[in-house]
């Protein structure tokens, strides 16, 4: 009985760690893409126009480059509802 409980507990913790790792990798890819677009951008526009040939995150719903004052801002939105900003 105790062995079964410990098995379920270990399985639950392992499942949580898998979810955390998946979200961390997803966020890392999105941040790297936004940073690369920010480095290559020369003005406002769509990210795909700015960074041609760069693989975008598969769950990206919107990405745009805009100018705020003298700074270029890349705003990347994902299906999960998370948004990443990169400034240059």
Query: What percent of the chain stands above pLDDT 90?
Result: 23
Q: What is the residue-averaged pLDDT of the chain?
A: 86
Q: What is the DSSP letter of 88?
A: -
pTM flag (> 0.85): no
Q: pLDDT at position 40, please? A: 84
**Nearest C-alpha neighbor of 54 from the set 66, 25, 4, 63:** 63
Helix ranges, 1-88 (H):
2-40, 47-50
pLDDT digits over 56-66, tens only? 888 889 989 99
């Amino acid at each position: 009985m105790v062995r079964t409980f410990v098995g379920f507990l270990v399985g639950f913790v392992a499942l949580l760690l898998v979810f955390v790792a998946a979200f961390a990798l997803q966020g890392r890819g999105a941040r790297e893409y936004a940073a690369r677009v920010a480095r290559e951008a020369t003005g406002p526009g769509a990210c795909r126009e700015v960074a041609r040939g760069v693989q975008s995150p598969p769950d990206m719903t919107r990405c745009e480059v805009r100018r705020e004052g003298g700074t270029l801002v890349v705003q990347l939105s994902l299906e999960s509802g998370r948004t990443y900003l990169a400034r240059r």
